[in-house]
Structure 1
């Protein structure tokens, strides 16, 4: 019976840590190399990284509570222009606009990344099973996809949120229930091609189960497409949340960019020339949608190099 000494155990633990660090470094290097191949992807990734950092450090960056109605000598500090103390001025209720803008990043990212995750998972699974099994399974899943395509997207999300209640997660649910349809169609068409390749046939001959073939042999070959449509879904989700909140169906307890635009519209900020109120959230919404598009565009050119030659 072999008894390991404390030194050998420590050495083994050290080797495991080194191996883990090499693996993490290798994955980070591969991730960085992926974005480095295309300038558009790099710009999109930098924009999202900046947003993530701003969201994490929002309590430090934002000088005020976004819900706080600021007063001085008992007087409400309403409709103040931009100044050193209030970089973007204040709202008609005396709330600091810059603080609202920074805190608005958090719900935007939550909606964007959560919806993109569900879109990727649902769309990829539907496309995998429809493309691999074909026949009746394909017919049923594609008819469900056709039904999803026939439902107007934003009106459906608005009705669902109005029925279930104003909540960020209800908006995510509404987006996830419909936005997977494009991903499913593209993944299915790709799976129909991949399933005919030699390595899939070899796996069938060796006795591999259908699920093993789907998730071990086929899925790794179509995951880049899933990530591509997931990156596009981030922008769509953020834009949808902003639209729903702007129309007044968002959660009033959550400060989002759409809520800021709604508040500015109701307060007639445009007619008063308070451009510092509604331009910054609109610009941030535009940046987030552009970032998703840039990552998707760059990913598409990396997946299909022939596109660069056109």
Structure 2
């Protein structure tokens, strides 16, 4: 019979810490190599450039915008004008500069997209790891919950939820924008959970995970140091693609009048352009600019997401 002595236990723990440290260093190198590979992919490079442009547009919007559309002096008698030297994209039905609205609208669109994807990824990753790693009744209960969220129709459910919660938005930091973030994030995690669970079921049988358990690492430590880092590439790829869906959903909800009326968004601009009859008035910048912005943002996230998926899934690389 083998009896573990304190010295042997300490040696095992030191070995485990050394192996985990080496694993973290190797993961950093692999992550850097993966980023370079994604950027070498034409789709990934185009997507990264598009997202960099729109992210900078959102961050620098207060300084790039020619005027503050909410200021009293921003209203002029030139309503629904086409592009001109004074107003590059024209003016709206109140005579306000459309370029300023487009730049400020990028803030809400990108904020909702990134934040909703973060909420969705955190919930989906947590549920997927818990279901795959612990198994048993935990897996069965979480699978039922996951399947229920998977079959929910995204747009009708988010429209209903945003309508019901919109009246309580006044107490939230970003008003109705906070409601859109929560609704889109809370109803979009099931796909991430399913992918993470399948990967965890494979990972927990791998030799390096079993070795960590034998060396005395607890469940939470194994999850934090072995499981989570290895599922993060899949989570990242899925999150990037989900940002595109979140942007589309936010634009749809804003277009339907469920956005924050005190903030500018591209979906809200499209709704205002339709209500003002911009298309028949020749103010094409009113509807074309936000529509093109939504299209390019979604295209950028989709291209980058597919490039990351190609990198993390060997089967997709073989098909190229």
User: After TM superposition, is the score higher than 0.5?
Assistant: yes
In the TM superposition, residue 51 of structure 1 has moved relative to its aligned partner by 1.2
Structure 2 match to 1:215: 224
Is 1:100 aligned with 2:101? yes
Summarize the alignment of residues 12-31 of structure 1 with structure 2, pairs less than 5 Å apart.
Answer: none
Structure 2 match to 1:44: 47
Cα deviation 1:176-215 (Å, max 9, x = unaligned):
1111110000110111111111111112222221111112
CA distance in 1, matches of 2:284, 2:71: 21
Cα deviation 1:75-114 (Å, max 9, x = unaligned):
6221112101011110111111111111111011110111
CA distance in 1, matches of 2:261, 2:134: 46
Structure 2 match to 1:113: 114
Cα deviation 1:49-74 (Å, max 9, x = unaligned):
111211222122211112346678xx
Structure 2 match to 1:286: 295
Unaligned stretches of 5+ residues in structure 1: 1-25
CA distance in 2, matches of 1:28, 1:145: 29
CA distance in 2, matches of 1:191, 1:40: 29
Summarize the alignment of residues 1-310 of structure 1 with structure 2, pairs less than 5 Å apart.
Answer: 33-68=36-71, 76-165=77-166, 167-310=176-319
Q: For residues 97 and 71 of structure 1, do their structure 2 counterparts lie closer, same or farther at Cα, with a shift above 3 Å needed?
A: closer
How many correspondences in the alignment? 284
CA distance in 2, matches of 1:30, 1:306: 19
CA distance in 2, matches of 1:219, 1:195: 11
CA distance in 2, matches of 1:300, 1:53: 25
Cα deviation 1:148-189 (Å, max 9, x = unaligned):
123221222222222222611110100111111100001101
Three-state SS of the structure 2 residue aligned to 1:89 is coil
Three-state SS of the structure 2 residue aligned to 1:104 is helix
Cα deviation 1:20-55 (Å, max 9, x = unaligned):
xxxxxx899657524323121121111111112112
Cα deviation 1:202-240 (Å, max 9, x = unaligned):
122222211111121111111100000110111111111
Q: For residues 265 and 129 of structure 1, do their structure 2 counterparts lie closer, same or farther at Cα, with a shift above 3 Å needed?
A: same
Instruction: Decide whether the 8 Å contact of 2:127 with 2:193 is kept in 1.
Output: yes
Q: For residues 68 and 261 of structure 1, do their structure 2 counterparts lie closer, same or farther at Cα, with a shift above 3 Å needed?
A: farther
The structure 1 segments of at least 4 consecutive aligned residues displaced by more than 3 Å after TM superposition are 26-32, 68-72
CA distance in 2, matches of 1:135, 1:32: 37
CA RMSD of aligned residues (A): 2.1
CA distance in 2, matches of 1:305, 1:243: 35
Cα deviation 1:90-144 (Å, max 9, x = unaligned):
0111111111111111011110111111111111111111011111101111111
Instruction: Decide whether the 8 Å contact of 1:66 with 1:95 is kept in 2.
Output: yes
Three-state SS of the structure 1 residue aligned to 2:278 is coil
Unaligned stretches of 5+ residues in structure 2: 1-28, 170-175
Which stretch of the first structure deviates more once superposed, 63-72 or 198-207? Answer: 63-72
